[in-house]
Amino acid sequence: MDQFVQIRRDLHQIPELGFKEFKTQAYLLDYLQMLPLERIQIRKWETGLFVKVNGTNPTKMIGYRADMDGLPIKEETRLPFKSIHETNMHACGHDFHMSIALGVLTHFVHYPIKDDLLFIFQPAEEAPGGAEPMLKSDVMKEWWPDMIMALHIAPEYPVGSIALKEGLLFANTSELFIDFKGKGGHAAHPHLTNDMTVAACTLVTQLQSIVSRNVDPLDSAVITVGKITSGTVQNIISEHARLEGTIRTFSVELMQHLQRRILDMVKGIEVGFQCEATVDFGALYIEVYNHEILTREFIDFVEQETEVKVIACKEAMTGEDFGFMVREIPGFMFWLGVESDYGLHHAKLLPNEEAIGVAIKMISKYISYKGS
């Protein structure tokens, strides 16, 4: 497995944002060109890839998806193979996801099974979302899988374990961008201005009341404003402000309700602060809902045929555009334990690389069972 640990390290050095994964795509292609090409078919899609591994006597196709993009985070790990792109980092484990997928793919190139396999290297999972348009591509329509699976690293679980559940696993998520335009001016004359810093901060406070006062206490939702941009210097009242955040729910209906309440509150801010405001809900990801029968079969297989520990987990407010794929194709996603002290999207995330070999062996064994 050392080869795939090194691949992970190579990929870790070149994190790229959504639909800009040019170096990543080139690296994957260079590796694939070293495999016996008579056994595989490769198709490009944007900055992603479809790789079909031909079965010996196929009756179905099994899909496996790995995401490719990094995050706009400055890495703080001090690893010898840290990111060479100063403002980007693989802080969500997509370098792990790709190296594991290559390991499984390589196994089946050399040890073919009866059924066809489709490996989907998907760009732009973090934003703006690559799964939904990839599903609509001509390649996908030609190579439509009968089932599909994927994993996501989990810093909170130990190496040698996976975590999953039947049904709802990940939440519906929506981005949130709100821009304010008022009237700036000198700090000494606030009465001649419409201060957008105050307007934005007022809305941030009001947004916190939506979950506590407009959502059933037995339901779950999150509204987080993660970034506020406003003003230029300390003695000028700001004319513009921008909020950036996220909304997360366990139902589509609640997501729509929260979005309506946000729009209502923004209208109130416009009236109260005599300003203009625009709301953009950005990328919307639907829930990841694991197919009950396939998930239970996978759990039973892992428990009975491997040494990997299966942990029953609860649904999480995590967002994943793999939800679009399992809406159309029966499948499931699971957490892969990588035991890091720092969590996902943290600048010091340090996943344990021993998990790469664990995942390659377990997934290869399961796919052999499903496709033989």
Catalytic residues: 67, 126
CA 120 from centroid of its chain's CA atoms: 14
Alpha carbon separation from 23 to 9, 68, 94 (Å, rounded): 14, 11, 14
Q: Which residues contact 146 (CB under 8 A, 6 or more apart)?
A: 60, 61, 62, 63, 329, 330
CA 139 from centroid of its chain's CA atoms: 22
Instruction: Give dist(CA 190, CA 36) in Å, integer.
Output: 71
Phi, psi at residue 290, to the nearest 5°? -75, 130
Q: Which residues contact 196 (CB under 8 A, 6 or more apart)?
A: 180, 181, 182, 184, 230, 238, 239, 240, 241, 273, 275
Query: CA-based angle 153:155:157, to the nearest 5?
Result: 95
Phi, psi at residue 292, to the nearest 5°? -60, -45
Instruction: Give dist(CA 168, CA 151) in Å, integer.
Output: 15
CA 192 from centroid of its chain's CA atoms: 45
Structure tokens at 194: 């419409």
DSSP track, 110-136: HS--SSEEEEEEE--TTTT-SHHHHHT
